[in-house]
Structure 1
Amino acid sequence: MLKDYGLEGHSWFKRLYKHRVKWSTALNNEYFSACILSSQRSESTNHAIGFQASKTTSVTAFFGIFESTVKRWRSEEERKEFNGIRSTPISVYPLTDLLLHVSQVYIVELFRIFEKEFALAMRTRATILPVDDPLLVYRVQPAVSEEGPHHVTYDCSNQLIECTCRNLQVMGMFCNHIIRVFHMPSVGEITSRYILRRWTKFSKTAVWERLLPSDIRRSVANDAINWHRLMLIATNHLITKCHNVVEARTIFEKLCVKANEEV
């Protein structure tokens, strides 16, 4: 288009073309996006909150809607996390070594995605191609489909694998072509380099472990401030009780001397 319409010298079009990877889905298959489109976040937010509010909703009422929505989200998240960590998802297929490993690592939603790809892999044919290379190259073709074939390159020694569909780069999940190739040498476990932490059952645990040292420092400082404030209040109340009674003042003074020595 730049050439056809003579726009090579147009600064705005040149800048737009320079960043084509960011807006052209045909060119961004090298980058992780989880298959999320730019409008999906706002649409999901509108679906979660917008149906309860309107343009006439007051700020107070909207805050109540927002607060109840957040509580519902957190409750649902805690329930899913509890069930996901302490249970193994049931599959319609026999749990092979690979499926069993995935069920133990991935959250339920991602396991279901993997299960669908696993089913598609059962309907494909894999043919090894003769190449002058230590790597293995497979041609994976759906048995009954108009979709074209894809080529999977597999390095057994280093456990490196790549498919021309680029689903692994975009989604961080294995496509059915790679799963089909894994059946050839009976691979029963996904190597750790291909397991995105964000998809695993223990992703939140890892985040808390990373943040724990800084949180401890902050909590210790906050606890000291709160403790100091509470002790001042408690001591002030005790002094107020004692100030009119000589015997009580004597008891309080002795306790202060003793506490100071022990501290």
Structure 2
Amino acid sequence: MFYEYLKLEQGKNPAFTFQIEADEEQKITRCFWSDARSRRAYKFFGDVVIFDTTYNTNRYGFIFAPIMGVNNHGQTIIFACGFLNHESVDDFVWLFNQFLESMPGGAPKMIITDQDPAMTKAFPLVLPNTFHRYCGWHILMKFSEKIDAVKYSIYKSEFSACIWKSETPEEFDLQWESLIKKSGLEGNRWLQDQYELRSRWIPAYVNHIFSADMSSSQRAESGHAFFKKFVSKNNSLVDFMIQFSRGLVRQRHEELMADHKDLIKKPKLRINHDFLEQMVDIYTNEMYYKFETEVCDSFNYKLQCVRETDNHCVYQIQRKKLAASKVREIVYDKDLDLVSCSCKKFESAGIPCTHIISYLMKFDAEILPDKYILKRWTKTAKSGTVVDDKGMQISPDNSYLLTRSQIIFGFS
């Protein structure tokens, strides 16, 4: 019945893809599926993937394994799903091989998971060029369990500052070593292990890799919580698919409402500024508000040139009237005509930081250059034809959505 259900969905739209494996007794051991809208979404938003497994979603005890991401409104979306009998290296390799074969656009740049040992072994085998990031939130939650309660209460804020405010590996190492020595936690084996793994979970280490401004798999957990409103451990596989599809319809309705809101309601500008007048028509409303905050804050900074070469100009930027505020470094590459900042917000979140904006304002830029506008955060992020590796065009189940986009955004 489960197989027939999937075949029926494929009959409705040939872009629906699935794969089932069974043992010698013809019992299902693992399954993968993804529909047309999920596959299209991956083409536009598959740069960062969140993966977190969950139990108690069906009466057979299968492990439910959704693969998720974030869209141009900052909403959690589904790329694909799987059922697994076990959380083994082989099962994860199989699932993500199916995933890569099905998704247009290649492997993601980053995948965020918890510290599951099997995942850690599996991903280098199937995603060798994808940065595997551990969920920082999960690790931070364990601090209270893994260190002495009194010391945790005393040094909690200092650990948090060390982790979230360090901007370079060297800065983090110095603060961490000082904090460990001061707190007398040199012998804590768990802390030693986390320090060895720091490149996978400390934000400063991965800022050069786009992360869609995410540092944890909490989005996956919130996604599980959402879908558990629809599915239960008593569901048969077919019941699960029916109920899960209802949840997916609800999730996609919210995305459609956000698309519609972008078209009919333009945010009111807090201040009159060329950048804001430009980007209010380009960014989705959600991303525009984030950009507006950066622009408004940029007036609070002062910029000073500290050195110049034939190829680069280097500036220091600091908040006005706060001598103790953090000093960032702005570098202008003359050959590339490109500005970068030591905070790395643009590289990791895809929205220019207040420091870069302050630099552009100082030199009287009238518009935000295209190189600082990431399409995945714009209203037109989902425009374009999507074709898979087999040459099949992937169109949404509801063709009117595609037609609507063609009319509004003018693509074919």
Q: Same fold (TM over 0.5)?
A: yes
Closer/same/farther in 2, CA of residues 194 and 63 from structure 1, 3 Å limit: same
Deviation at 1:174?
0.6
Maintained 8 Å contact 1:21/1:27 = yes
TM-score relative to the length of structure 2: 0.43
1:53, CA displacement in angstroms? 5.3
Deviation, structure 1 residue 183: 0.9
Deviation of residue 61 (structure 1)?
A: 6.1
- Indicate whether 1:154 and 2:154 are aligned: no
Q: 2:301 is matched with which residue: 124, 143, 156?
A: 124
* Aligned mate of 1:77, from 247, 250, 255: 255
Q: Which amino acid aligns with 1:111?
A: Y
2:288 alignment counterpart: 111
Q: Which structure's residues are more often helix, by fraction?
A: 1
Aligned to 1:184: 362
1:44-63 correspondence to structure 2 within 5 Å = 44-51=222-229, 55=233, 57-59=234-236, 62-63=240-241
Q: 1: distance between equivalents of 2:394 and 2:348?
A: 38
Q: CA deviation at 1:115?
A: 0.9
* Unmatched 5+ stretches in structure 2: 1-176, 178-185, 188-192, 396-412
Residue identity matched to 1:175: C
Larger gyration radius, structure 1 or structure 2? 1
Q: Deviations over 1:99-157 (max 9, x none)?
A: 12222221111111111111221222222334344533222111255531101112467
Tell me, in whole angstroms, the C-alpha distance in 2 between the residues paired with 1:114 and 1:188.
16
Equivalent residue for 2:205, pick from 27, 38, 42: 27
- Per-residue CA deviations over 1:81-112 (Å, capped at 9, x if unaligned) read 13324553222221x22112222221111111
The Cα shift of 1:79 comes to 2.1
Asked if 1 retains the 8 angstrom alpha-carbon contact of 2:386 and 2:393, the reply is: no
The structure in which a higher percent of residues are strand is 2
Report what 1:42 is aligned to.
220
Aligned partner (choices 201, 211, 217) of residue 387 of structure 2: 211
Indicate which of 338, 341, 344 corresponds to 1:163: 341
C-alpha separation between the residues in 2 aligned to 1:73 and 1:178?
A: 35
Please say which of residues 42-51 and 172-181 is displaced more in the overlay.
Answer: 42-51
CA contact (8 A) 2:280 2:288 kept: yes
Aligned length: 203
What value does the CA root-mean-square deviation take over the aligned residues?
Answer: 3.2
Report the alpha carbon displacement of residue 52 of structure 1 after superposing the two structures with TM. Answer: 5.4
Calculate percent identity across the aligned residue pairs.
25
Residue in 2 that maps onto 1:67: 245
Distance in 1 of aligned mates of 2:363 and 2:394 = 50
Alignment counterpart, residue 92 of structure 1, candidates 253, 256, 270: 270
Aligned counterpart, 2:169 = none
Deviations 1:26-79 (A, max 9, x none): 322211112213322322213312355555x43466545423321122222122
TM-score (ref. length: structure 1): 0.65
